[in-house]
């Protein structure tokens, strides 16, 4: 699986929650984070290079632990890799439609994802009368990447981006960027107990488990590879996963 940085760890946790006897290679493209401020063409290019690299490891599947990459592939085409390539948008949209009562659904994502309208289309394909409020929150990914997820700044930034959802009386909000479940505490605080918060990674975890449970159980080893600074990544990842993480640097350019 891969992401631009620490965000995909939320998907990794969901996959490992559903099935632990599986080996994982996690690639973090921190040399290019944040993806959300780049063009979808650029993001698709990075992602295709990472997928080609991961395919050398002969995986049973690849999970795209990055909403922005899913938006890019939705617009520019999905690579055909011969093994399942799991995305977040369909599972996130389905979970949101199952959860909502009123049909007023919020989506908070990167600018690139919000602008692409990918979640809006997927939600309306599941429920035609849904009213979707979609916003880009570019401040949040750098907060997580800096390791500031537990700070007052994080709380204030999340509160600001939740204002449109409160005004639109959304009863369900999708975290359409995988970095954002690291900030769930603040989303809960800002949105209140009546609003369902959807982390699409949880449904991806269940989908992955269905595929992986057919295979021989493995040791459960996780290899972390990082295109930027492996030490900085490992430090934050160790805190977020509550486990010792070692990461190797890997330049794909
Ligand atoms: N975590 C990724 C996503 O789900 C990328 C965020 C970014 O690098 O801007 O969109």
**Best of 178, 204, 237 for a ligand 1 pocket test (most atoms within 8 Å of beta carbon):** 178
pLDDT in tens, 125-151: 999 999 999 999 999 999 999 999 999
Looking at residue 163, what is its pLDDT?
98
What band does 253 get if pLDDT is binned at 50, 70 and 90? confident
Q: Give the Å distance between the CA of 8 and the centre of ligand 1.
A: 8
Distance from C-alpha of 210 to C-alpha of 163, rounded to nearest angstrom: 37
Q: Name the 3-class secondary structure at 175.
A: strand
Whether the CB of 6 sits within 6 Å of ligand 1:
no
How many Å lie between the centroid of ligand 1 and the Cα of residue 51?
Answer: 16
Q: Report how far ligand 1's centroid is from the alpha carbon of 46 (Å).
A: 13
Closest approach atom of ligand 1 to CA 69: 10
Q: What angle (nearest 5°) sits at the alpha carbon of residue 153, between those of residues 150 and 158?
A: 85
Known catalytic membership, residue 66: yes
**Nearby residues of 3 by Cβ (< 8 Å), 6 or more positions away:** 9, 11, 27, 28, 29, 65, 66, 69, 178
- With a 6 Å cutoff on the Cβ, whether 67 touches ligand 1 is yes
| Residue 147 φ/ψ region, left for φ over 0, alpha for ψ in the -120 to 50 degree band, beta for the rest | left
- For the chain, the C-alpha Rg in angstroms (whole number) is 17
| pLDDT, position 247 | 98
Does 110 sit in the ligand 1 pocket, CB within 6 Å? yes
As a whole number of angstroms, the distance between CA 122 and CA 107 comes to 11
Instruction: Render pLDDT for 212-238 as a digit per residue (tens, 0 to 9).
Output: 988 998 999 999 999 999 999 999 999
The distance from CA 69 to its chain's CA centroid, rounded to whole angstroms, is 9
Q: What is the mean pLDDT of residues 185-201?
A: 97
Could you tell me the two tokens for 130?
Answer: 């849904």
- Helix (H) / strand (E) element for 226: namely strand 222-226
- Number of residues in the chain: 253
Substitution candidate for ligand 1 out of 112, 119, 177 with most atoms within 8 A of CB? 177
Q: What is the pLDDT of residue 21?
A: 87
| pLDDT above 90: residue 19 | no
**Closest atom of ligand 1 relative to the 88 alpha carbon:** 4
Tabulate helix, strand, coil % of the chain (nearest 5): 50, 15, 35
> Cα-flanking dihedrals φ and ψ of residue 77, to 5°?
110, 140
Ligand 1 neighbourhood includes 4 CB (under 6 angstroms):
yes
Q: How far apart are CA 72 and CA 74, in angstroms?
A: 5
- Catalytic, out of 70, 161, 162, 177: 177
| Confidence band of 20 (pLDDT split at 50, 70, 90) | confident
Region 117-127: mean pLDDT is 98
Residue 177 annotated among the catalytic residues of the structure:
yes
Query: How many angstroms does the Cα of residue 112 sit away from the middle of ligand 1?
Result: 9
Is residue 62 very low, low, confident or very high in pLDDT (cuts 50, 70, 90)?
very high
Residue 223 token pair: 């290899």
From 66, 70, 161, 170, active-site residue: 66
Q: Which atom of ligand 1 is nearest to the CA of 113?
A: 10
User: Quick check: helix, strand or coil at residue 190?
Assistant: helix
Q: What percent of the chain has pLDDT over 90?
A: 94
Please confirm whether the linkage preceding 190 is cis (ω < 30° from 0).
Answer: no
Question: Is 34's C-beta closer than 6 angstroms to any atom of ligand 1?
Answer: yes
Q: What is the Cα 229 distance to its own chain's centre? A: 20
């Amino acid at each position: 699986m891969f992401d631009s940085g620490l965000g995909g760890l939320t998907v990794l946790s969901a996959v490992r929650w559903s099935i632990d006897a599986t080996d994982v290679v996690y690639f973090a493209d921190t040399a290019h984070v944040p993806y959300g401020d780049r063009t979808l063409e650029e993001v698709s290019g990075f992602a295709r290079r990472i997928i080609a690299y991961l395919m050398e490891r002969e995986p049973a599947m690849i999970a795209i632990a990055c909403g922005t990459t899913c938006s890019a592939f939705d617009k520019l085409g999905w690579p055909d890799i011969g093994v399942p390539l799991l995305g977040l948008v369909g599972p996130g949209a389905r979970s949101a439609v199952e959860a909502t009562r009123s049909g007023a659904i919020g989506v908070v994502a990167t600018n690139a994802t919000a602008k692409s309208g990918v979640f809006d289309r997927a939600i309306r394909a599941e429920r035609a009368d849904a009213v979707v409020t979609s916003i880009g929150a570019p401040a949040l990914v750098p907060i997580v990447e800096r390791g500031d997820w537990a700070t007052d700044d994080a709380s204030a930034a999340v509160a600001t981006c939740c204002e449109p959802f409160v005004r639109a009386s959304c009863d369900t909000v999708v975290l359409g960027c995988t970095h954002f479940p690291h900030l769930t505490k603040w989303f809960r605080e800002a949105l209140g107990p009546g609003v369902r918060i959807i982390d699409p990674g949880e449904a991806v975890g269940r989908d992955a488990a269905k595929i992986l449970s057919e295979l021989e159980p493995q040791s459960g080893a996780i290899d972390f590879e990082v295109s930027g600074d492996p030490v900085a990544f490992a430090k934050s990842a160790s805190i977020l996963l509550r486990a010792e993480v070692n990461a190797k640097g890997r330049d794909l350019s």
